[in-house]
Structure 1
Amino acid sequence: MRLLPLHFLAVLAACSFSGEPTEDITIAYKVLEVYPQSRWVLITCYSPEAPRPITYSLMASRGVLVATRVVRDDKPASFNINITLKSSPDLLTYSCRASSDLGTYGPSSWLQMYWELWTKPVSQLQADFTLRDGNSGPTAELSCLASSGSPPIIYRLVGNDGRIHAQQRPLHGKPANFSIPLSQTFGWFRCEAANGVSVESSASVLLPPGELPLTPTCILAGSLVSIAAISYGMLRSTR
């Protein structure tokens, strides 16, 4: 029996996980912690059609096997990994594969983690205002969350004059929550989300609701009303 050289066996091992991505297995991730040069990430693999028990394999670039998990219930397999920033972005690519008694499933689509974790701009910023009447007076609660963007994302409460009233850096995927006392606040406010790639702002909201601040336009309008009233009085006195 002729033995194959080791380098040829390595090529076969890498090629055994190649192929077009399929929809019968999915891959997702969640950032658990952000460090200066790395990210602690939870990656999940899930195949709803495969009979249990099922063995999930997390694959890295170039067919490298990172880890395997055996799942006996209808839950995804979870992999906690520390992803370090590397000079070559293609080394930070992951996919899932699964196998059971009926065969193999996958590979899943590929997660481009360099793009996801370091170069993805902030987008889909959602800002929700809620009015509350507490013991210390009425307040406006502002919740801000960008559904996409590389961590860390910093959220700011910004006035119409560009002044930053408060800022937060919540856990990735969690909203920032600002409390604004209406008895001490007057004007337009917006939420701003920023990472190292881009900045996105929400629409401005007037606080307290329904009350317009005294802008130069309002002052001019008031002056015109006063002038009209004075002119009308002078015309009546000359008759």
Structure 2
Amino acid sequence: MPPWFLLLICALPCEPAGISDVSLKTRPPGGWVMEGNKLVLICSVDRVNGNITYLWYRGALGFHLETKTQPALTAEFEISEMKQSDADQYYCAANDGQGPVPSELVSIHVRVPVSRPVLTFGDSGTQAVLGDLVELHCKAPRGSPPIFYQFYHESTILGNSSAPSGGGASFNFSLTAEHSGNFSCEASNGEGAQRSEVVALNLTGRQSEDPLRSPPQTVLQEPTYPNLPDPRQPEPLYENVNVVSGDDVYSLVYHTQQVLEPAAAQHVRTHGASETYPPSSLLWSFQVSSGIYSKPRINIGYMDYEDTM
């Protein structure tokens, strides 16, 4: 076999082969980046023979982002400020003149720090009654899940809750007198914590469902009689009027402590002179024909009001 033939056989497989492996890596690694931070997409090939054309794409449908040509095993494409809307799948391709070779898809996740949460109360609002079940609701308008919430009364932690899929979370507690004051909440998703504004809760005491009723007051109707000493004073009640003798009519009088002041004394005027009798019970008489009071006959007897009830 001629030597030149051997050299020809050896020369064919010994020529450099084309690109067989293309990979895409990210910085920061893992495909996670904070909103507002920079993302670098690094495209690499397994070998290089002259210039390599690198291409970067977004999404499975391949929206073209950038193209670079250089004689290097790697090339970088930078997105200076990532937004939440930039979260997607990315890939790159390398072409050494024999056709582009794509990399695998890499998912990029954009982490959004929580914004300042808003604390609200449930149906009760900021007016609540002692003993009520109060609901605290805390929600951060923005933030990547999961979000962890803590609820505070002044500087004391009341409890915590989480939102695995994002959004807000609630915490319920029974309202006591010790809960008077200010409330707040805090939201965190591992990218920093934010505290809400302070909200004051106004407490009111619960009124009894069965209030004690005052005992009924006896309303005494004030009878009117002519020629009485003081019309402003409650009048005695007369009954059992009987004619004893002659023109004299004697009346049995019931008198209670509620009618007269405790220290007051009952005065009866008899022919220009006055005599005082105890306010608890009083027996007196008057002459019907002339209207002149006669001296009471004490020996007739008297009856106390309470004994007659």
- The TM-score range, normalised by the shorter chain, is 0.3 to 0.5
TM-score (norm. length: structure 2): 0.30
TM-score (norm. length: structure 1): 0.38
Higher helix share: 1
Q: Which has the higher contact order (CA 8 A, sep 6+)?
A: 1
Q: Which has the larger radius of gyration?
A: 2
